Chain A
Amino acid sequence: MRRRTPFRAQLRPAPLHRRVGIGAALFIIVLAVSGLLLNHTDTLKLDQRQVDSSLLLQWYGIDMPDQASHYDSGSHRISQLGEQIYFNSQPLLSSKQPLIGITSNEQLTIVALSNTLLLLSHEGELVERLDTLPQGMHKIDAIGSDTDGNVAIRQGERMVVADQELLSWQAAAPQLNIKWSQASQVDAAYSKNLLSNYRQQTLDYERVLLDLHSGRLFGQWGPYVMDAAAVAMVLLALTGLWRSLKGRARKRC
């Protein structure tokens, strides 16, 4: 029959070192590997790699955002899901400003956010971003174009029309016939595609590794588990040192 080791004997450096090592091995490996990867975030471009695992996305509770709006200009569609803006279902940029509408002229497609105009090529490249609105305007309520294709924006009763290159703005005559951009309905397949894209764009691997390293990935008790793993590492170092010194002392005797 195997004899049970007394408790005091278990607290000696050798058994303690072994037990702590076995108990904390998994967590120490997780800490070390995630730490190593995080040290090379830039090289590995972890902040640019998006998570597309539905399991992880669900774990983070990333679901459909509350706000979704869509506008069509005839040839192009602009959508906003949460803070993400999509041009023809491709991610364009992230903005907290609400989407107001879209219009096009011969050279450009113009997207209006509440305080910004995005000038895009018809292929969706960002040509220019205008954060400064025409004088006297603080926000955009609507965007549209007149019968000549000139872009117009409106704030309350104030309307201004731009030249073809959108370099200067002039007050629009009240009788000017402007077709304002209106919110449009989208089909279920488009919505589903956008949602899938949105979920992928929302979470990057740097975030996941940071949460894994700190233990936050495992809920409110996770950080304490990782704290315990860190303490275990200190214990391992101390007991290892202790054993080594003791071994040397014995050899000298």
Chain B
Amino acid sequence: MPAVSPKSSLVPSLAMLLFALAWLLAATPAAARGTYLPPADFIQQSFANQPPAPKLLWLDKELQKSVNTILGHDYPALRLRYWRQQQRSLWVLEEIGKEQPITLGIVVNAGAIETFEVLIFRESRGSEIRHPFFTRQFDKVSLDQDGQLSSTVDGISGATLSVRAATRLARLALLFHQQVVNRP
């Protein structure tokens, strides 16, 4: 039986490894875009399939001013629908990461985030924010007196803009929750 030299077995292995790496790098961005959870399903799940009737929050000038402080621009709508049951409110919000809007589903319970989910991701990069290692950083996070998140959210290299968009939307959901809960 002819002896197999270590060098000759190493070359195909390395080639396979490089091919696999190239395939992974090429495939990841395409696979990352998409609808992870349709907003309608998120609403159903969050209220055990018995969601309350939606309500409307009108973004008047004063509220848009606060929104502008968080997003750096007005929210691109004059009203938002939300679902509220006692101290829980659910928000489906959108913000552009780099070029495309990212849709997040956020449930706020008694002023702190209970659920934070990436519902639709349309960008070519930065979809890592959908993973639990990132989203669980928002668990029980609330707004401090300065309107900032009560705990620091760690970034993800290569997903800076998506992380920023997610963090801004978390602040926005908490702000909107305060608005609807404090209503007379």
Those of A56-80 within 8 Å (CB) of chain B: none
- Asked if residues A132 and B53 are in contact (CB atoms below 8 Å), the reply is no
The answer for the CA separation of A167 and B77 in the assembled complex, in Å, is 16
Give the interface size class of chain A: 10 to 19
- Asked if residues B54 and A121 are in contact (CB atoms below 8 Å), the reply is no
- Asked if residues A128 and B39 are in contact (CB atoms below 8 Å), the reply is no
Residues on A with C-beta less than 8 A from B79 are: 127-128
The answer for the CA separation of A247 and B68 in the assembled complex, in Å, is 60
- Asked if residues B77 and A127 are in contact (CB atoms below 8 Å), the reply is yes
Residues on A with C-beta less than 8 A from B38 are: 132
> Nearest-CB distance from B41 to chain A (Å)?
10
Interface flag for A37 (CB, 8 Å): no
> Nearest-CB distance from B34 to chain A (Å)?
14
The answer for the CA separation of A168 and B39 in the assembled complex, in Å, is 16
A-B contact pairs, 9 of them (CB 8 A): A126-B77, A127-B77, A128-B78, A131-B39, A132-B40, A135-B40, A167-B53, A167-B56, A168-B54
Interface flag for B81 (CB, 8 Å): yes
* Beta-carbon nearest neighbor of A129 in chain B: B77
Interface flag for B80 (CB, 8 Å): yes
Taking A132-B39, A135-B40 as contacts, is the C-beta distance between A125 and B78 under 8 angstroms?
Answer: yes
Q: Interface digits, A105-142 against B, CB 8 Å rule (1 contact, 0 not)? A: 00000000000000001000111110110010000000
Q: Interface digits, B18-44 against A, CB 8 Å rule (1 contact, 0 not)? A: 000000000000000000001110000
* Beta-carbon nearest neighbor of B99 in chain A: A47
Interface flag for A227 (CB, 8 Å): no
- Asked if residues A167 and B54 are in contact (CB atoms below 8 Å), the reply is yes
> Nearest-CB distance from B150 to chain A (Å)?
30
Q: Interface digits, A194-207 against B, CB 8 Å rule (1 contact, 0 not)? A: 00000000000000
* Beta-carbon nearest neighbor of B80 in chain A: A128
Residues on B with C-beta less than 8 A from A131 are: 39
Give the interface size class of chain B: 10 to 19
Interface flag for B76 (CB, 8 Å): yes
- Asked if residues A127 and B78 are in contact (CB atoms below 8 Å), the reply is yes
> Nearest-CB distance from A103 to chain B (Å)?
19
Those of B70-93 within 8 Å (CB) of chain A: 76-81
Query: When the two chains form the complex, which single residue of A121, A129, A132, A165 contacts B56, counting CB atoms closer than 8 Å?
Result: A165
Residues on B with C-beta less than 8 A from A135 are: 40
> Nearest-CB distance from A42 to chain B (Å)?
12
Residues on A with C-beta less than 8 A from B77 are: 126-129
* Beta-carbon nearest neighbor of A135 in chain B: B40
The answer for the CA separation of A129 and B38 in the assembled complex, in Å, is 15
The answer for the CA separation of A129 and B76 in the assembled complex, in Å, is 9
The answer for the CA separation of A131 and B101 in the assembled complex, in Å, is 13
Residues on B with C-beta less than 8 A from A129 are: 77
- Asked if residues A126 and B56 are in contact (CB atoms below 8 Å), the reply is no
- Asked if residues B53 and A126 are in contact (CB atoms below 8 Å), the reply is no
Residues on B with C-beta less than 8 A from A168 are: 53-54
Residues on A with C-beta less than 8 A from B56 are: 165, 167
The answer for the CA separation of A129 and B79 in the assembled complex, in Å, is 9
Residues on B with C-beta less than 8 A from A128 are: 77-81
- Asked if residues A126 and B78 are in contact (CB atoms below 8 Å), the reply is yes
The answer for the CA separation of A131 and B105 in the assembled complex, in Å, is 14
* Beta-carbon nearest neighbor of A130 in chain B: B81
Residues on B with C-beta less than 8 A from A132 are: 38-40
> Nearest-CB distance from B160 to chain A (Å)?
14
The answer for the CA separation of A87 and B38 in the assembled complex, in Å, is 29
Residues on A with C-beta less than 8 A from B39 are: 131-132
The answer for the CA separation of A135 and B40 in the assembled complex, in Å, is 9
The answer for the CA separation of A127 and B76 in the assembled complex, in Å, is 8
Residues on A with C-beta less than 8 A from B53 are: 167-168
